[in-house]
A and B are shown apart, each in its own frame.
Chain A
Amino acid sequence: MDEKTLIAKRVALELMDGDLVNLGIGLPTLVARYVPPGRHVFFQSENGIVGMSGPITGAENHDLTDAGGSPISALPGAASFDSAFSFGLIRGGHLDVTVLGGLQVDREGRLANWMVPGKMVPGMGGAMDLVTGARRVIVAMQHSAKGEAKIVERCVLPLTSVRRVDLVVTDLAVIEPTDAGLVLKETAPGVTVEQVIANTGCELIVAPDLRSMPIEG
């Protein structure tokens, strides 16, 4: 299993029956494929729909895309609305879970994921509203990039929000930010605690009930 699939499968276990969930573009989009059987999850796309499918090919409708512009379909029971309503769902506490990618997460559990000054300024899109307003924020990202830790003492990149995220899922570990700091809850199959610590740029508290990710190879 490749790293992205592992991350997506682990995140999917966090989604509960009946949840309203927003998946960011890129890696988070994969999560929709692995929702555990028996759980019905409503996926929102912030450009104005609840009840979207994943990306489709064939039968494209030019009036129906996800937030990345990829064609989707509306599942039976879907609802569409304008952008103010869509962000009302997000900001108003109606969104159960948002899953976003990350550039950095710091020891206080704060996320930076929208710009690298001088290099990449795509804009925040909906990310700031999602992290500020969702009931639960899950960051899905590689543990490190080009050999550099993405989990750091303090974000040097501009923050997306000062709100503490709820869970960080990487190819090496599951980490929960808490008042006391970052708690290492799970390691990926075949990964040791030492490997996780060596690839992390700040202190981790190893949970007493540390376990291996409940993912079948």
Chain B
Amino acid sequence: MKNKLISLEDAVARIPDGASLLIGGFMAVGGPNRLVDELIRQGKRDLTIIANDTARPNNGLGKLVVEKLVRRVVTSHIGLNPETQKQMIAGAIEVELVPQGTLAERIRAGGVGLGGVLTATGVGTIVEEGKRTVEIDGVTYLLEMPIKADFALVAAKQADLYGNLTYALTARNFNPLMAMAGATVIAEAEDILPVGCIPPDAVMTPSVLVDYIVAATPR
């Protein structure tokens, strides 16, 4: 079996300009913040980012926006990153705002091979514009399409050398969903452990989904 544990530099070098990236985290909590910093150092551009929020200008993936490396964002909240709003109003960045629960389910659908999601969220609001509606038992739902991406960048509490992952508390958030929906999955882990150290019941993302592991802190 190939060695999944690679250097930060090697991991990010695999990501081309113009790539679509699912990035875990909620206001940068549980975000792969070292991978993000390396994207900036390597100057990757024209990125499409799918993430819960664009954090703050000086924090997590918020910095990608400030560095003008992002072309398009699919997200539920940009309110704490004025730079995203500024670039959106200036037309420099395309922003698709998606209700948070819908975003989670669209990514889940992408990862588990479903053709879409039916949700009542957004019916009768501007979120409905351009979407098909379906009526089931008298309730109107929007058809929301699945999301996949070239890469998923996730942050884990623990990884073993096979790539089994655990997450801590609210740092879990979108990470396990994204680990299923990225064609290539790079996990940044705080603790990297020998195989067998994480009990099967504790694994939250099975190793078969993970392509590369990098250490969250320099070693």
Contacts and interface: CB of A to CB of B under 8 A. Distances in A.
Nearest to A70: B27
Contacts of B127: 124, 128
Contacts of B126: 158
Contacts of A91: 101, 119-121
A129 B99 contact: yes
Interface stretch (A28-36, A40-48, A182-190): A40-48
A172 B172 CA distance: 41
Contacts of B53: 123, 125
Contacts of B89: 121
A122 B97 CA distance: 9
A82 B168 contact: no
B43 interface: no
Given A80-B172, A121-B85, A129 B102 contact: yes
Contacts of B100: 46, 83, 87, 124-126, 129
Nearest to B103: A83
The number of chain A residues touching the other chain, given as a range, is 35 or more
B163 interface: no
Contact of A125 (B76, B119, B122, B177): B76
A121 B26 contact: no
B148 interface: no
Contacts, number: 145
Nearest to B102: A129
A44 to B, nearest CB: 11
Interface stretch (A5-13, A56-64, A191-199, A204-212): A56-64
A150 to B, nearest CB: 19
Interface string B84-117: 0100110000000101111011011000000000
B4 interface: no
A75 interface: no
Contacts of B63: none
Given A82-B176, A84-B104, A160-B125, A123 B170 contact: no
Nearest to B56: A69
A67 interface: yes
B121 A82 contact: no
B172 A124 contact: no
A82 B177 contact: yes
A93 to B, nearest CB: 11
A142 interface: no
A132 B105 CA distance: 15
Contacts of A128: 99, 101-102, 121-122, 125, 127
Contacts of B173: 47-48, 82-83
Contact of A61 (B27, B78, B97, B169): B169
B52 interface: yes
Interface in A79-132: 80-84, 86-87, 90-91, 120-129, 132
In the A-B complex, the 4 residue pairs with the smallest Cβ-Cβ separation, listed nearest first, are A122-B79, A87-B101, A162-B124, A129-B101
Interface of A: 45-49, 61-65, 67-69, 74, 80-84, 86-87, 90-91, 120-129, 132-133, 158-162
Given A47-B26, A64-B29, A125-B99, 20 more contacts: A48-B169, A62-B171, A63-B30, A65-B26, A69-B27, A82-B104, A82-B167, A82-B204, A83-B173, A83-B174, A84-B107, A84-B108, A86-B104, A125-B79, A128-B99, A129-B102, A132-B121, A158-B125, A158-B126, A162-B125
29 contacts: A48-B173, A49-B169, A49-B170, A63-B29, A63-B171, A64-B29, A64-B169, A64-B170, A65-B29, A74-B169, A82-B104, A82-B173, A82-B176, A82-B204, A83-B101, A84-B104, A121-B88, A123-B78, A124-B77, A124-B99, A125-B53, A125-B79, A126-B100, A128-B101, A128-B125, A129-B99, A132-B122, A132-B123, A161-B121
